[in-house]
Amino acid sequence: MVSADDLMIDPDELLSGLAGTTVLDARWRLGGRPGREDYAEGHIPGAVFIDLDTELAGPPGQNGRHPLPDPAHLQTALRAKGIDDTSKIVVYDAGDGQAAARAWWILRWAGHRDTRVLDGGLKGWAAKGHPVTAETPAPSQGDITVRPGSLPTLTADEAAKLAQTGTLIDARVAPRFRGEVEPVDAVAGHIPGAVNRPTTENTGDDGRLRQQEELRDAFGVDEDAPVGAYCGSGVTAAHTVLALHRAGRTDAALYVGSWSDWITDPNRSVATGE
């Protein structure tokens, strides 16, 4: 099983090791005020901002709204943040862990193992009375080498097959899964055979990731069957993959293009309802 310490870090633990840690502020929201503006107003001391739209994803298009970033582009971005192959990295967002999980997933997909998510995010950090600053650091150039493919991914065809042979989790809210509403993408519904489990169920009211046994029981995934996750564009589903890792399923795959990629081909089936 995966140790919780391998995935998450408590605010107090981060504070005690802050001097030896590269901290990434991954705050992001779908629409509205950019996370970079939140970062400018206040962040964890020493943290550098990483942009989900332009650094943790490629340009939107045929492969979805947040496709995989080009490895060379990602490597340049990570080196500019002072990241080395041996860096201890902690990523955080405002509090729900979803954008931070995307950063965690991309870094681990890129081959960087020592990456953890701040449990409870900046909200949890501030609730402990830990310091926040508006000072922007100037990190030295890093030397990380991006090794793409270190976490499993799904293509559209593979996601369709997984929905029939294993468990494909749709991490969106239930009304979007059922096709009753679709505020973002052009088509409503879900991949046939997928099961719905919203990402919000992965955390408690405090935004902290639920414990291993609780997640294992909640997912109820057959240990001998493959499992994967998708959402609208591969952001919130990364949090479901994080939760699956804590539940012991380190083989969980992410359909990065997710629904925004699925609907680019009109020949792909769309299901609605439960």
Integer Cα distance of 37 and 32 in angstroms: 11
Report how far residue 225's alpha carbon sits from residue 221's, in angstroms, rounded to the nearest whole number: 8
Task: Check pLDDT > 50 for residue 228.
Answer: yes
Backbone angle region of 2, left / alpha / beta, with phi > 0 → left and psi within -120 to 50 → alpha: beta
Q: Residue range 20-41: average pLDDT?
A: 94
Query: Mean of the pLDDT values across residues 214-238?
Result: 94
What pLDDT was estimated at residue 223?
85
Q: Please state the domain extents for the chain.
A: 4-127, 156-262
Weakest mean pLDDT among 53-57, 170-174, 204-208: 204-208
The CA distance from 119 to 102, in Å, is 14
Computed from CA positions of residues 48, 54, 55, 57, in that sequence, does the dihedral angle turn out positive or negative? positive
Over residues 94-143, the pLDDT tens digits come to: 999 999 999 999 999 999 999 999 999 999 999 999 999 999 999 999 99
From the options 3.30.450.20, 3.30.710.10, 3.40.250.10, 3.40.50.620, give the CATH code of 4-127: 3.40.250.10
Alpha carbon 78 to its chain centroid, in Å, reads 16
Beta-bridge partners for 115: 89
User: Which pLDDT score is estimated for 2?
Assistant: 39
pLDDT value, residue 5: 53
Say yes or no: do domains 4-127 and 156-262 share a fold: yes
d(CA 126, CA 174): 31
- Residue-wise pLDDT tens digits, 154-166: 999 999 999 999 9
Residue 15: per-residue pLDDT: 98
Q: Please name which of 5, 1, 43 lies closest in space to residue 25, comparing C-alpha atoms.
A: 43
Helix (H/G/I), strand (E/B), else coil: 25: strand
pLDDT for 221? 82
What percent of the chain clears pLDDT 90, i.e. is strictly above it?
93
pLDDT of 4 strictly over 50: no
C-alpha 192/C-alpha 179 separation (Å) is 12
Q: Answer whether residue 1 shows pLDDT above 60.
A: no
Report which residue type is found at 133: T
Catalytic machinery residues: 231
Tokens for 190, please give them: 């879900």
Question: 156-262 adopts what CATH topology?
Answer: Oxidized Rhodanese; domain 1 (3.40.250)
Helix (H) or strand (E) holding 246: helix 236-246
Instruction: Name the average pLDDT for the chain.
Output: 96
Q: Which SS3 state, helix, strand or coil, does residue 103 take? A: helix
Give the Cα separation of 66 and 169 in Å (integer). 18
User: Does residue 192 surpass a pLDDT of 90?
Assistant: yes
